[in-house]
């Protein structure tokens, strides 16, 4: 039971990407800890990661899903980022 809880643990992360992003290169949000470990070990079988409660910075403004300016307003729900576009994933302090 303890292993199941650990597998379901979500952490705040910063994901740096290198392409397919229309100018946004750093996203922040929550993702499963087990997905970070799988990505870092090269074992991630899905073609994307799920990033929940996503936000990013545009200039001096913070844009969140559903609340941003311009194109950001069109997003709803979670963000899925292609694994082949990810350069780095940093775990952030709570």
pLDDT tens for residues 7-61?
Answer: 689 999 999 988 655 666 888 899 999 999 999 998 886 688 999 988 877 777 7
pLDDT at 6 (0 to 100)? 63
Is the pLDDT at 63 greater than 60, yes or no? yes
Strands (E) in the chain, as ranges, are: 10-17, 26-32, 48-58, 61-64, 79-82, 86-91
Is the pLDDT at 94 greater than 90, yes or no? no
pLDDT at 74 (0 to 100)? 60
Burial class (CB in 10 A: 0-12, 13-18, 19+), 15: buried
């Amino acid at each position: 039971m303890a292993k199941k809880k650990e597998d379901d643990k979500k952490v705040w992360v910063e994901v740096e990407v290198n392409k397919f992003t229309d100018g946004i290169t750093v996203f922040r949000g929550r993702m499963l800890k087990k997905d970070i470990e799988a990505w870092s070990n090269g074992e991630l079988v899905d073609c994307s990661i799920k990033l929940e409660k996503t936000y990013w910075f545009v200039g001096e403004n913070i844009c969140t899903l559903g609340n941003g300016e311009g194109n950001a307003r069109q997003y709803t729900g979670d963000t899925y980022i292609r694994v082949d576009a990810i350069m780095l994933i940093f775990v952030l302090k709570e």
